[in-house]
Amino acid sequence: MNSLFINVGFGNLVNADKVIAIVSPDAAPVKRLVQQGKEQQRVVDATAGRKTKAVLVCEGERIVLSALGPDTIGKRMAAAGE
């Protein structure tokens, strides 16, 4: 089985099969999720020092932070899945 990888910005790739949700980081529950993930060392920061615009929740309780918006990542996943 071939894995499909999606570019989440700055040359960083995420396995699309492992992504459960792509959400905006602005909501309080998402902020808590990211903070807890950082405390438990489950967060991968793929923002290259820029503002986080999307949070990818993945299998295995991993969280990926991206500087690209959720819409952009969603479109990339949809285009790659065709």
DSSP state of 68: S
pLDDT (0 to 100) of residue 1 = 59
Looking at the structure of the chain, the number of domains it has is 1
Q: pLDDT of 21-35, one tens digit each?
A: 999 999 999 999 999
CA–CA distance, 10 with 82 (Å, rounded to integer): 23
Q: Looking at residue 59, what is its pLDDT? A: 97
Structure-block tokens of residue 67? 């500087």
Question: What is the value of pTM for the model shown?
Answer: 0.94
Strand partners, 54: 66
pLDDT at residue 38 in the model: 98
pLDDT for 4-59, tens place per residue?
A: 999 999 999 999 999 999 999 999 999 999 999 999 999 999 999 999 999 999 99
Q: Which domain holds residue 20?
A: 5-81
